[in-house]
Structure 1
Amino acid sequence: MESLDDFDIQILKQLEKDGRMAYSAIAAELGVSNTMIHQRISRLTEQGILTGIKPVLDEKKLGYDWAAFTGLILEKDHDSNRIIEELKKIPEVTECYYITGTYTLYLKIIAKDHTHMRQVLYEKIDNIAGIAKTDSIMELGCAFKRNIIL
């Protein structure tokens, strides 16, 4: 994989500010051709550095006022791939990480209210075969969320 140069970093910074920014606007900002921007973005995508441009949704404005970080203890860690596939079917599970320590997997769950959160935890997650225990911490608000700063 080729390393990033200054133009690549500047392009990524522009896209971080506004993922809908036109290539021509990025080119004008950086003083290069539209073709160069198009080629660089294509290369960054092919290399897997830029994995897509998608909207960032404000979950609270969509009515999801509750969030939790939940650690999962599995009966058998080798079941993690099957369990992850089941978790992907639950729309309220928005993130899932492999971690070290007490838990095998760590989730972010969003819900509309405490009743909805209880339903997600007790009726959906707890019913997945192979999950021995869940341990949740309620989120009280996000101080900030960002990509890595280049």
Structure 2
Amino acid sequence: MHVLDDFDKQILKKLDQDGRIPYSSIASDLGISNTMVHQRIGRLVEQGIIMGTKPLLNEKKLGYDWGAFTSLSLEKDHNSEHVIEELKKIPEVTECYYITGNYTLYIKLVALDHEHMRHLLYDRIDHIPGISKTESIIELGCAFKRNIIL
């Protein structure tokens, strides 16, 4: 675990509010130098706390009106790496997690409409060698999504 001081936390809060905020604005707001902000952010990136800077896309505005959370049972858990590599080839699979319980993997996928969702589930995902069972829950909308609050 990385120990963050108050400046690190404040910088992360500023970036979470607006990932495009100029470093000079952060420095001015916190009463520190631009150099210190650059160094701190560089260290947070090196430590893997900040994992990149990319836009957060609104899938619904791009036409992907359907979302699902799908649990995957594998024939053998040691097949997970192969299955994950196949899932990465499906652009509509946006997240993949290892989980405990009756399933091995849990994915989030998006689709343009119900036919597209059916195609993804039955023609793409169910045909990946090593998957023995899937169970999906249709997503009706995101109430909120956020980073951990510091």
Compute the TM-score of the two structures, normalised by the length of structure 2: 0.98
SS at match of 1:145: coil
Change (3 A) 1:41 1:68: same
Give the counterpart letter for 2:126 in structure 1.
D
Q: Deviations over 1:38-87 (max 9, x none)?
A: 00000001111111111111110000000000000100000001100110
* Residue 134 of structure 1: aligned partner: 134
Q: How many residues align?
A: 150
Task: Return the alpha-carbon distance in structure 1 between the equivalents of residues 2 and 148 of structure 2.
Answer: 19
* Residue 33 of structure 1: aligned partner: 33
SS at match of 1:49: coil
Change (3 A) 1:2 1:108: closer
Percentage of pairs with the same residue = 72
SS at match of 1:127: coil
Compute the TM-score of the two structures, normalised by the length of structure 1: 0.98
CA RMSD, 1 decimal: 0.8
Task: Return the alpha-carbon distance in structure 2 between the equivalents of residues 102 and 110 of structure 1.
Answer: 23
Runs of 4+ in 1 over 4 A off after TM superposition: none
Task: Return the alpha-carbon distance in structure 2 between the equivalents of residues 88 and 139 of structure 1.
Answer: 21
* Residue 15 of structure 2: aligned partner: 15
Displacement of 1:93: 0.3
Matches within 5 A, 1:1-150: 2-150=2-150
Task: Return the alpha-carbon distance in structure 2 between the equivalents of residues 74 and 28 of structure 1.
Answer: 52
Unaligned runs of 5+ in 1: none
Task: Return the alpha-carbon distance in structure 2 between the equivalents of residues 89 and 33 of structure 1.
Answer: 44
Displacement of 1:94: 0.3
Task: Return the alpha-carbon distance in structure 2 between the equivalents of residues 129 and 87 of structure 1.
Answer: 11
Displacement of 1:2: 4.8
